[in-house]
Amino acid sequence: MNIYQAVTELVARAVAVQLITQEDSVYARNRILHLLKIDDFQEPEESGSEGGIPELLDFLVAHACEHKLIEDVFDQRDILSSQLMDCFIPLPSVINERFYAKFSRSPREATDYFYALSQHSNYIQTRQIDRNINYKAATEYGELDITINLSKPEKNPKDIAREKLMKSSNYPRCLLCVENEGYAGRAGHPARANHRLIRLRLGGEPWYFQYSPYVYYNEHCIVLAGEHRDMKIDRQTIERLLLFVDFMPHYFVGSNADLPIVGGSILSHDHYQGGRYEFAMAKATDEYRFSLRDFPLLESAIVKWPMSVIRLRGEHMADMVGAADHILAKWRAYSDMAAHIQAYTQGTPHNTITPIARKRGKMWELDLVLRNNRTTEEHPMGIFHPHEDVQHIKKENIGLIEVMGLAVLPARLESELKEVENFLLGREQRLAEYHLAWAEELARRYEGTVTPDNAEAIVRREVAAKFLRVLEDAGVFKRNEAGVAAFKRFIATLGTEES
């Protein structure tokens, strides 16, 4: 394949997936030629590639590197790739007009359009995402989702050195700011020329809707505030979540907690995550039902889940918001040292929630996951954080996605778990020291039963068991007799009657 064939094929693919029409093809081709500093064009005699858009982009970027148009480093390759795709993507105003025209017929039609656009434009990194290792594991709480995250590209020392030499910039202020839309990118800040946002209004202020570049589940979206401000969980948060699922009833939406340790990776910009997927937690059943005296029309329950979850259901948004705000206020101030829960340490707050909203027919459903981020000498990373004996599998914060039952595990496990399999099979291996105690325990438990045919399945099942332990560690009220009693003590402070 030569450069003219690659350009022609890329334009043809863009037409085929309806990024542009045939009438736009010459215009788009000329913009690509300009980016590649090619002054002529020779119509190819035959098709040059069976690859898709990502493969064609790779070819064009490799051509640019070979001809010294850009340096062969990650950031410059990423910037050129997104600029090439920007040749095919309409302005934000056009995309929003199309989105809302489709939305007037069906919210699903609108999101189907925008999701496909985000994939075909290579903003959603579909090829990278396909590298992830994904499987489900049965537990007493339903099927947990396990993902070993291999999608985010690793930077080499040359890329990292370039970032250190770059002049610091506060524009865009963070990766979620609206100013990322169309931003070319720079060393240390990803290219966003092919990035578009849908405009929303939630609670009377501007918000924006996009998809995650590295989706962890179907239609994994991000809903972000127009204002760059810290994450905050309050009454308005609950109202916005319910307004969003009213606007897009085929999606769920939730917020990470607003405190370190129990929050997500970005606490500096108010945002939510949602999508068109039903996690194990959403399918979990009621374990203990009660009634809130001040909100008699609502259904209230403790959910059968390894973390501590209160579920509210109701047809009236005002009741849902009022009840959730009431529970949040009570939890913010709640202490129970018998359960290791302390609301404040010298004025520093420790209690918050991870809220998740969904719509089921006419009913709103709201899950409030109780969180506490207190640390001790015994648990310096958090009392309700993955404890040391599971950190060889997962030691990062337990955010919204994990709370709902999807483990996002580090890429290192791809090779490390193979070594655990080799250990169980008695083969030569290079087992990481931090996996040794676990591997020895598995070897004792599965002695004489591990074969080349079942080793992977055994290790995967045991990884899921570790993730379940991670969720149990993060639960503020443990699922034992003392923990259940402690949870009911908190419920009693809400003004309740057992159903």
**Residue 155 predicted with pLDDT over 60:** no
Beta-carbon-side half-sphere exposure of residue 264 (alpha carbons within 13 Å): 24
What angle (nearest 5°) sits at the alpha carbon of residue 339, between those of residues 335 and 343?
25
Q: From CA 44, how far away is CA 34, in angstroms rounded? A: 18
Question: Predicted confidence band at 454 (pLDDT cuts at 50, 70, 90)?
Answer: very high
User: What's the distance, CA 129 to chain centroid?
Assistant: 12
- Tens-digit pLDDT profile for residues 254-290: 999 999 999 887 899 999 999 999 999 999 999 999 9
Question: Predicted confidence band at 45 (pLDDT cuts at 50, 70, 90)?
Answer: confident
Phi and psi at residue 348, in whole multiples of 5°?
-85, 125
User: What's the distance, CA 481 to chain centroid?
Assistant: 34
- The 10 Å Cβ neighbour count of residue 367 is 25
Tokens of 214: 């590295």
- Tens-digit pLDDT profile for residues 297-334: 999 999 999 999 999 999 999 999 999 999 999 999 99
- Please say whether the beta carbons of 117 and 95 come within 8 A: yes
User: What's the distance, CA 125 to chain centroid?
Assistant: 14
**Residue 247 predicted with pLDDT over 70:** yes
Tokens of 144: 């947990």
Mean pLDDT of 160-166: 57
Strand 142-148 with 406-409, pairing: parallel
Mean pLDDT of 212-236: 96
Report helix, strand and coil shares of the chain as percent, to nearest 5: 40, 20, 40
**Residue 157 predicted with pLDDT over 60:** no
At residue 370, the pLDDT reads 98
At residue 69, the pLDDT reads 95
At residue 51, the pLDDT reads 80
**Residue 491 predicted with pLDDT over 90:** yes
DSSP state of 169: -
- Please say whether the beta carbons of 351 and 331 come within 8 A: yes
- Please say whether the beta carbons of 79 and 185 come within 8 A: yes
Mean pLDDT of 402-407: 98
Q: Percent of the chain having pLDDT more than 90? A: 92
